[in-house]
Amino acid sequence: MISNNGGSTDGKSSHRNTGSKGSPCMVRVGPRRLPVYSLVVACLGLLNAFLLLAAVVIGIHCGNVSERPSLYQLTPQMLIEEVKQLQAITKETMKSQQEAQQLLEQEIKSHEQVKHQLKQNKSLSDNIQRQIEALRVEKATLQSDSANIMQSCGRCLPGFLLLNTSCYFHGRFPSVPLKNWTDSRADCISRGADLAVIDNFDEQVNLFEYLPKIQVLGRYIRPWGLGGLWIGLTDIQTEGKWVWVNNATLQGSGYWLDGQPDNDGALGEDCAALWNVNNSGRRTWYDAGCQKTKEWLCERKPI
C-alpha cells in the first residue's frame, strides 16, 4: 500500500515522513519507504517501454497493410492505361458517328435524286399531255375545215354544219331570239334534231374550235346575261344526276367550268349550258336556271 503525507496507517504524525528541510520526499510502499523521484522514474520507464512496444506493433501492422493490394490504390501506370482505354473508346465512338453521318448523307442524297427524278417525270408527263391536247385541237381544227368543205355535199340540212359525224345548228342571237331550255329543245325537235349531246372529248374539242369564243383576260367570270348556249343535259328529274336528252346518264366528271355545277339561286339550276371561254376546251359547261333565255345548240345525224 502506498500512502502520502496526507495520512498514516499507524496514526502517527506526518512530520515523521517529511524529515528535515532539504531531504527527499518519501512514500511508504508496503513495509518499505521509498523516495518519490525513484518511483516516478520507475513509472516513466514502464510507460516508455509500453509505448515502444505499441510503436513496434503498429509498425508491423502498417507494414503488413502496405504490402496488401488496395482497391483504391492507383499508380501512375494504371492511370495511363485508363486514359488510353478511354481514348480508344472515344476514337471508336467518333468513327461510328462518322460512318452513321456518311450513311445519312448518302440516304439524303438518294432521296433528293428520287425527288428530282419524280419532278422530271411529272414535267415530262405534263408536256406529253399538253402535246396530246394540242394534237387533238389540231385534229378538231382540220375536221372543222374539212366539214366546211363538205357542207355543200348535201349531208346536212340547210343551216346545219357538219363536224365529224354530226350536223349542228347554232341558234345565234341576234339572228334568232333567245329561248329558255325547254323552248330551245322544242326548236331543235322542229328541225329534226335535239339539243346537243356531248359524249366524248373529241366532240367537246370540235365544238370548242367551231363555236365563237369569249375573251375573259384569263379570269373566270360567271356567265350572266347572254353568256353561253343551251345543250341537252339536265338534272331536273333528280338533283345531281345529270342526264342527256337521249336518256343517257352523264359518264365521268364531264367538262364543267371550275366550281360548276353549283345549283345556285333560289329556284336552283337544273339545265346545262356551254360557255365557250377562250382558255381550254376541257372546261366549258355550267349549270343555269332552265327559265333563263340563251342561245342554243342542236345536233342530228347527217343525211
Which of 192, 18, 220 is CA-nearest to residue 27?
18
Q: Check: CB of residue 204 under 8 Å from CB of residue 198.
A: yes
Per mean pLDDT, which range of 9-18, 178-187, 220-229, 241-250 is the poorest?
9-18
C-alpha cell at 12: 502517527
Answer yes or no: is pLDDT of 291 > 50.
yes
C-alpha cell at 109: 442524297
Long-range contacts of 149-154 (CB under 8 A, 24+ apart): 154/303
Would you mind telling me the total number of residues written for the chain in this entry? Answer: 303
Give Cα separations from 206 to 78, 140, 203 (angstroms).
94, 5, 5
Q: What is the mean pLDDT of residues 117-123?
A: 89
Q: Distance between CA 53 and CA 50 in Å, rounded?
A: 5
The whole-chain average pLDDT of the chain stands at 79
Q: What is the mean pLDDT of residues 258-275?
A: 88
Q: Find the angle CA(223)-CA(228)-CA(234) to the nearest 5 degrees.
A: 100
Q: What is the pLDDT, as a whole number, of residue 138?
A: 77
Neighbouring residues of 220: CB distance < 8 A, sequence distance ≥ 6: 257, 258, 259, 277
Taking only the tens place, the pLDDT of each residue in 136-181 is: 877 876 766 665 555 546 788 888 988 888 999 999 888 889 999 9
Q: What is the pLDDT, as a whole number, of residue 221?
A: 59
Q: Between the ranges 40-54, 94-108, 124-138, 139-153, where is the mean pLDDT highest? A: 94-108
Which of 233, 228, 232 is CA-nearest to residue 173?
228
Packing angle, helices 201-210 and 76-150, rounded to 10: 60
pLDDT band for 299, please (50, 70, 90 cuts). very high
Q: Check: CB of residue 298 under 8 Å from CB of residue 196.
A: yes
> Rounded to two decimals, what is the model's pTM?
0.52
Phi-psi region of 179 (alpha: psi -120 to 50; beta: other; left: phi over 0): beta
Backbone angles phi, psi at 298, to 5 degrees: -100, 155
* Pairwise pLDDT comparison (187 vs 51), residue with the higher score: 187
Q: What is the mean pLDDT of residues 193-220?
A: 84
Strands annotated E in the chain: 2-3, 26-29, 32-35, 161-163, 166-171, 194-195, 229-234, 243-244, 271-274, 285-288, 295-300
What is the Cα gyration radius of the chain?
A: 61
Determine the number of helices (DSSP H) and then strands (DSSP E) in the chain: 5, 11
Per mean pLDDT, which range of 2-11, 172-181, 213-222, 278-287 is the poorest?
2-11
Q: What is the pLDDT, as a whole number, of residue 158?
A: 86
Strands annotated E in 143-265: 161-163, 166-171, 194-195, 229-234, 243-244
